[in-house]
A and B are shown apart, each in its own frame.
Chain A
Amino acid sequence: MHIDQTEKKWIWVTIFMTVIMVGVLTAYAVGSNIHPPSGFEPIDSTRLHLSEEFAEDNLGYKDNGDGTGTLTMVGARYGFYPSTVEVPVDTPIKIRVASADVLHGLHVPFTNYTTMVVPGYVAEVNTTFQKTGDYTVMCNEYCGLGHDHMWSRLKVVEKTGS
């Protein structure tokens, strides 16, 4: 068994680099509270309209009364519903999304609001929108021939009543 001295040094350098990278990423995720969607929450996608939470009348943004909010949405070919939602800036928001049909992906460029929307499971993400403005909610997972046309509007507005 022969490992060259220079190569041994390189092995230590690569291990050190890897540890540093994983450390920085971990610190960043924990420090800025950026976590991917989590949790195992089955739901019957064919009966969303009968569920309390994802029934049509209950979709949209709700103020929780404690400075945080909840946004409930449904993805279905070809749109995200409600098709226009208004949310306050600088407010921690719990977002819950379900699919009524096939696989979708929800993506709002220049924000951390991204999740896959998988039939049979509720997707939950937590984020805070930091800049006001009009954003486009785009489907980023192929969901059929009309995939390109699946988008809706997200308006991040100034906080009211504070």
Chain B
Amino acid sequence: MATTTASMQENLSSARGQNSVNIGLANFWVALVFMTVAVILGVYQVAERSGFFPALESPTLYFASVSTHGVLMGFVLTTFFIMGFGYYAATTSLKMPIPGKGFAWFGFWLALIGTLIAAVPLLTGNASVLYTMYPPLAAHPAFYIGATMLVVGSWFWCIEMIWMMAKWKKAHPGEAVPLVHFGNTANAIMWLWTTIGVGSEALFQLIPWSLGILETIDVGLARTLFSWTLHAIVYFWLFPAYITLYTIMPKVIGGKLFSDEMGRIAFIMLLVFSVPIGFHHLYMDPFQEAGWKFVHMFGTFMVALPTLFTGFTVIASMEIAGRLRGGKGLFGWIGALPWKEPVMSAAGLSMLLLTFGGFGGMINASYSLNTMVHNTQWVTGHFHLIFGGTTVIMYFAAAYHMLPRMIGRKLHSASMAVTQLWLWFIGMLVLTLPWHAIGLLGQPRRISSAPYDDPLVEQWNIHEASMIVGGVILFISSCMLLWNLYKTHSASPEEQAMEYAEPIHPAPRVPHLLNSFAFWNVVIAIYLIASYGYPIAQFFLNQTFGATTWGV
């Protein structure tokens, strides 16, 4: 009897995701709780900077808040969510447990303790240097050390993903690695390459300088190293969203994936092109020649290709499902899609936001047009649309889909989930469209008030008001998300398998280059040396003058 129960238990746990359930849940909840804290800070920020509430105005509080909001959204929400998603997707797609589970948990705790260490100076106003860590403004060393621990913690996840892919391939010689894990491993490898930039800045510049071991800091070198990380980090965030669109969405809506191979090609292109193109963040900086900026612009446009391929495959997969469900005509299939499914709604809304955001991104990415929008609120509007919109809405979809399966319960309310997603979509548009407009009207980014003696200031007010409404809608939406997932833990039991979409043309075997990353790592190394080699070396080949330390 006891053995039967034990084996039943084992079957259950294997169906729910082997040994990844607890670590998946822990990562998801850390991510979503910190996200809600950051949303609350966001509402305060749009209210403070509008100037409508004189009692709120305080640059000290505002910049502490902006710094915390950025770190929580950009580093904490993303890193933990991506780790949780990766572990659960890996065990359920490869049908094997996480090897060296203690190793994975060590990474989780390292990241969490690092986050808490960094939170102390952030919340006490001792790290108001923004999440982009602008030296020579100096934060308390605990901020740099905590943030570095978070990144190092994420490396444990990267190693786990690569380890699992290697183990699976050994057990299944010649077979194609399931697309979902191929994507997660591509992301893990990309993240290891990506963090070399900010990691070097932290270890060789920021930490020793903040501890007083180095007296000055070369800001040009620091910014060049940060740019190494700054674009690819966005694709680190975006990968789970794309993976969900390719591998989960088509299954949920009752269709098939249009092309497995195109998914692999898109993932490889994202991996190869994301890192060596960071100079579009340095277009307006001195200390790098315009020629290098031009070369990086070309790469930046290349990285749009995998996104355009993804758009095609995802929409084609939706069309297949829509037609299988009886949709007719050129657009009839759209109405036939199951919009009441959270994953479907999220996917549709995410693709729409991606279209808007992609358009703005082309302007930022251009060597010449960027001059008009550089460091204006347009840029902040743009990345909120792409990250807060396109990406995070798919994180919600993945959480609604995975969390009930992890714990073997029914989602508390699917209709509340769909309402929440639509509210998020509307809130994001109400927030970010005026944000773009205010940037075109000249408002610089990162200001806590607008004390300029300029008639332009009058024109900003209407947009500031709209942004507050957007912020409040997003806050309500994030509360609904947390409540729904929290209630799911006590919802009625229901065992649903975690299944991934089948492609129309099954691809049990794929060419070696689409099933392994060894060759692509060599390509990345060469591309990185070509695009970053001299721009970094020039700081060592020439005499430069470091900047002294400044408080905020």
The 8 A-B residue pairs with the shortest CB-CB distance, nearest first, are A109-B442, A140-B444, A38-B290, A140-B375, A123-B286, A29-B368, A119-B547, A44-B545
The answer to the question of B20 belonging to the interface, with a C-beta cut-off of 8 Å to chain A, is no
* Contact, CB under 8 Å: B59 / A145: yes
* Contact, CB under 8 Å: A148 / B59: yes
User: With a CB–CB cut-off of 8 A, which chain A residues contact B291?
Assistant: 38
CA distance A2 to B421 in the complex (A): 35
User: With a CB–CB cut-off of 8 A, which chain B residues contact A67?
Assistant: none
* Contact, CB under 8 Å: B441 / A109: yes
User: With a CB–CB cut-off of 8 A, which chain B residues contact A2?
Assistant: 259, 261, 505, 507
Which residue of A is nearest B60, CB measured? A145
Interface centre among A37, A124, A149 (most CB of B within 10 A): A37
CA distance A145 to B136 in the complex (A): 14
Given contact pairs A10-B309, A120-B546, enumerate 5 new A-B contacts (beta carbons under 8 Å).
A22-B297, A26-B294, A114-B375, A118-B286, A120-B544
Q: Which of A11-19, A52-60, A85-93 forms part of the interface with chain B?
A: A11-19
CA distance A42 to B369 in the complex (A): 27
Which residue of A is nearest B550, CB measured? A102
The answer to the question of B458 belonging to the interface, with a C-beta cut-off of 8 Å to chain A, is no
Q: Restricting to B507-552, which residues have a CB under 8 Å from any CB of A? A: 507, 510-511, 514, 538, 542-548, 550-552
User: With a CB–CB cut-off of 8 A, which chain B residues contact A115?
Assistant: 284-286
Taking the nearest CB of chain B, how far is it from the CB of A124, in angstroms? 7
* Contact, CB under 8 Å: B261 / A3: yes
Q: Identify A102's interface contact among B136, B223, B450, B544, CB under 8 A.
A: B136
Which residue of B is nearest A6, CB measured? B316
* Contact, CB under 8 Å: A45 / B547: yes
* Contact, CB under 8 Å: A140 / B258: no
Q: Identify A114's interface contact among B293, B362, B371, B510, CB under 8 A.
A: B371
* Contact, CB under 8 Å: B371 / A143: no
Interface centre among A105, A140, A142 (most CB of B within 10 A): A142
User: With a CB–CB cut-off of 8 A, which chain B residues contact A46?
Assistant: 545, 548
Contact with B along A8-36 (1 / 0, CB 8 A): 00110011011001100110110010111
Q: Identify A145's interface contact among B262, B313, B552, CB under 8 A.
A: B552
Interface residues on chain B, size class: 35 or more
CA distance A109 to B374 in the complex (A): 10
* Contact, CB under 8 Å: A7 / B258: yes
* Contact, CB under 8 Å: B547 / A18: no
Taking the nearest CB of chain B, how far is it from the CB of A39, in angstroms? 7
Which residue of A is nearest B538, CB measured? A40
User: With a CB–CB cut-off of 8 A, which chain A residues contact B545?
Assistant: 42-46, 120
Taking the nearest CB of chain A, how far is it from the CB of B111, in angstroms? 26
The answer to the question of A155 belonging to the interface, with a C-beta cut-off of 8 Å to chain B, is no
The answer to the question of B328 belonging to the interface, with a C-beta cut-off of 8 Å to chain A, is no
Which secondary structure dominates where chain B touches chain A?
loop
The answer to the question of A147 belonging to the interface, with a C-beta cut-off of 8 Å to chain B, is yes
User: With a CB–CB cut-off of 8 A, which chain A residues contact B63?
Assistant: 142, 145, 147
Contacts A37-B286, A136-B456; is A22 near B298 (CB within 8 Å)?
Answer: yes
The answer to the question of A122 belonging to the interface, with a C-beta cut-off of 8 Å to chain B, is yes
Q: Which of B248-256, B299-307, B387-395, B463-471 forms part of the interface with chain A?
A: B299-307
CA distance A40 to B302 in the complex (A): 27
Q: Identify A7's interface contact among B137, B293, B312, B362, CB under 8 A.
A: B312
Interface centre among B287, B297, B545 (most CB of A within 10 A): B287
* Contact, CB under 8 Å: A112 / B371: yes
* Contact, CB under 8 Å: B448 / A148: yes
CA distance A123 to B371 in the complex (A): 15
Taking the nearest CB of chain B, how far is it from the CB of A71, in angstroms? 15
Q: Identify B136's interface contact among A26, A39, A103, CB under 8 A.
A: A103
The answer to the question of A41 belonging to the interface, with a C-beta cut-off of 8 Å to chain B, is yes
Contacts A15-B305, A22-B297, A42-B544; is A121 near B450 (CB within 8 Å)?
Answer: no
User: With a CB–CB cut-off of 8 A, which chain B residues contact A94?
Assistant: none
* Contact, CB under 8 Å: A114 / B284: yes
Which residue of A is nearest B66, CB measured? A142
* Contact, CB under 8 Å: A105 / B444: yes
User: With a CB–CB cut-off of 8 A, which chain A residues contact B308?
Assistant: 10, 14, 17
User: With a CB–CB cut-off of 8 A, which chain A residues contact B293?
Assistant: 36, 38
Q: List 25 A-B contacts (CB under 8 A).
A: A1-B510, A2-B505, A11-B309, A14-B304, A18-B304, A25-B368, A28-B369, A29-B368, A32-B368, A34-B371, A36-B284, A38-B288, A42-B544, A105-B284, A107-B444, A109-B441, A114-B284, A118-B285, A121-B219, A124-B286, A140-B445, A141-B375, A144-B552, A148-B447, A151-B452
User: With a CB–CB cut-off of 8 A, which chain B residues contact A117?
Assistant: 286
Taking the nearest CB of chain A, how far is it from the CB of B547, in angstroms? 4
User: With a CB–CB cut-off of 8 A, which chain A residues contact B290?
Assistant: 35-38
Q: Restricting to B261-315, which residues have a CB under 8 Å from any CB of A? A: 261-262, 283-291, 293-294, 297-298, 301-302, 304-305, 308-309, 312-313
Contact with A along B18-58 (1 / 0, CB 8 A): 00000000000000000000000000000000000000000
Contact with B along A130-162 (1 / 0, CB 8 A): 000000101111111111110100000000000
The answer to the question of A116 belonging to the interface, with a C-beta cut-off of 8 Å to chain B, is yes
CA distance A14 to B72 in the complex (A): 35
CA distance A1 to B515 in the complex (A): 12
Which residue of A is nearest B503, CB measured? A2
Taking the nearest CB of chain A, how far is it from the CB of B50, in angstroms? 13
Which residue of A is nearest B289, CB measured? A38
Taking the nearest CB of chain B, how far is it from the CB of A148, in angstroms? 4
Which residue of B is nearest A149, CB measured? B451
Taking the nearest CB of chain A, how far is it from the CB of B262, in angstroms? 6
Contacts A1-B511, A2-B261; is A103 near B219 (CB within 8 Å)?
Answer: yes
The answer to the question of B449 belonging to the interface, with a C-beta cut-off of 8 Å to chain A, is yes
The answer to the question of B376 belonging to the interface, with a C-beta cut-off of 8 Å to chain A, is yes
